[in-house]
């Protein structure tokens, strides 16, 4: 199949960017979207041009490194699927495809389609953990966790930290990402001691990082490759308010 690509090219963080048109010819429908870009890049290289920079690593939907707004949709048209698992058979011969980076104030562009998502790491630093230094743990089976709790915790823990929720949100809020971690840890007995402090600190950090606030549009849930539920946001808000009320911060 043959496609016309409009790709965001930007030489560096400070350089101006623009959409550039490329023809992607002889593309097999069995290629993944990123393999299609590999082919385009190979041909650019052979012509002596600079290939398109984009982030990726595992190519199996788990590392969270890949991104891309595809025709205005984070991770493209297939629901519950990261860009690296999207295949060209989701497109038609002759299609025009617009490819852009995540756009959010908190995610500055590094080059072309790669952005800096380190703000997400700093949200985790603020409290997205259970303090349990190595060595002090008791036997694992002395902590009983109801199956239902662990299943719900796992649903939230499946977040791959890709940032699609931010890119999809009209306010560029990182609420779904943050809420997924608050929910994962807050549902487990081990996570109780730091539960309210965690919600407070993480939400505050999210604000500091220039993410917008959540007005419950629901675009995040639609874009999320792991289909994390917005219910997690309700839960985070509850923990946050409770934290404020009981003044848990030291």
Partner 1 sequence: MTLRLDARIPPGSLAEKWNRHRFEMKLVNPANKRRHTIIVVGSGLAGGAAAATMSELGYNVKCFCFQDSPRRAHSIAAQGGINAAKNYQNDGDSIYRLFYDTIKGGDFRSREGNVYRLAELSVNIIDQCVAQGVPFAREYGGLLSNRSFGGAQVSRTFYARGQTGQQLLLGAYQALECQIARGGVTMYPRTEMLDLVVIDGKARGIVVRNLVTGAIESHAADAVVLATGGYSNLFFLSTNAQGCNATAIWRAYKRGAAFANPCFTQIHPTCIPVSGEHQSKLTLMSESLRNDGRVWVSKKPGDKRDPRQIPENERDYFLERKYPSFGNLAPRDIASRAVKEVCDEGRGVGESGLGVYLDFADAIKRLGIDVIRERYGNLFEMYQRITDENPYEVPMRIYPAVHYTMGGLWVDYNLMSNIEGLHVTGEANFSDHGANRLGASALMQGLADGYFIIPNTIGDYLASSKPQKVDTTHAAFKAAEDEVEERTKRFLSIKGKRTVASFHRELGQILWHNCGMSRNEAGLRTALRKIPELREEFWRNVNVPGSDVELNQALEKAGRVADFFELGELMCLDALHRTESCGGHFREESQTPDGEALRDDENFAYVAAWQFAGEGKIPVLNKEPLVFENVKLSQRSYK
Q: Interface with ligand FES by CB under 6 A: which residues?
A: 56-59, 61-66, 82-84, 160
Give the relative orientation of helices 195-208 and 175-186 as an angle to the nearest 10 degrees. 170
Rule CB under 6 A: say whether 176 interacts with ligand SF4. Answer: yes
Q: Shortest gap between Cβ of 34 and ligand SF4 (angstroms)?
A: 17
Which of 189, 160, 186, 188 minimizes the C-alpha distance to 240? Answer: 186
125 binds, among partner 1, ligand SF4, ligand FES, none (CB under 5 to 8 A by kind): partner 1
163 binds, among partner 1, ligand FES, ligand SF4, none (CB under 5 to 8 A by kind): ligand SF4
CA–CA gap between residue 13 and residue 21 (Å, rounded): 21
Residue with tokens 């690296």: 84
Q: Is 48 exposed, middle or buried (0-12, 13-18, 19+ CB in 10 A)?
A: exposed
Interacting residues with ligand SF4 between 107 and 166 (CB under 6 A): 159-165
Give the relative orientation of helices 147-157 and 175-186 as an angle to the nearest 10 degrees. 150
- Pick the closer one to ligand SF4 by CB: 25 or 118: 118
Interacting residues with partner 1 between 91 and 110 (CB under 8 A): 110
- Pick the closer one to ligand SF4 by CB: 36 or 74: 74
How far from the centroid of its chain's Cα atoms is residue 166's Cα?
Answer: 7
- Per CB under 6 A, residues contacting ligand SF4 are 159-165, 176-177, 180, 223-226, 228
């Amino acid at each position: 199949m043959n496609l016309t690509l409009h790709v965001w090219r930007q030489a560096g963080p400070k350089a101006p960017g623009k959409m550039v048109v490329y023809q992607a010819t002889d593309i097999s429908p069995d290629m993944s979207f990123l393999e299609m870009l590999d082919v385009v890049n190979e041909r650019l290289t052979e012509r002596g041009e600079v290939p398109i920079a984009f982030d990726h690593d595992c190519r199996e939907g788990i590392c969270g490194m890949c991104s891309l707004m595809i025709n205005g949709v984070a991770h493209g048209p297939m629901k519950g699927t990261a860009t690296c698992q999207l295949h060209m058979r989701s497109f038609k011969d002759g299609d025009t495809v617009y490819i852009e980076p995540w756009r959010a104030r908190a995610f500055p562009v590094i080059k072309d389609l790669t952005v800096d998502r380190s703000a997400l790491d700093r949200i985790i630093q603020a409290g997205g953990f259970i303090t349990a230094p190595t060595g002090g743990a008791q036997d694992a089976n002395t902590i009983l966790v109801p199956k239902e709790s662990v299943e719900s915790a796992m649903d939230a823990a499946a977040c791959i930290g890709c940032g699609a929720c931010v890119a999809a949100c009209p306010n560029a809020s990182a609420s779904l990402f943050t809420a997924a971690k608050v929910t994962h840890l807050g549902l487990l007995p081990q996570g109780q001691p730091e539960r309210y402090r965690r919600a407070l600190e993480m939400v505050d950090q999210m604000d500091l990082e220039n993410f917008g606030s959540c007005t419950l549009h629901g675009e995040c849930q639609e874009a999320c490759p792991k289909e994390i539920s917005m219910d997690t946001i309700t839960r985070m808000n509850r923990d946050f308010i409770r934290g404020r009320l009981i003044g848990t911060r030291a």
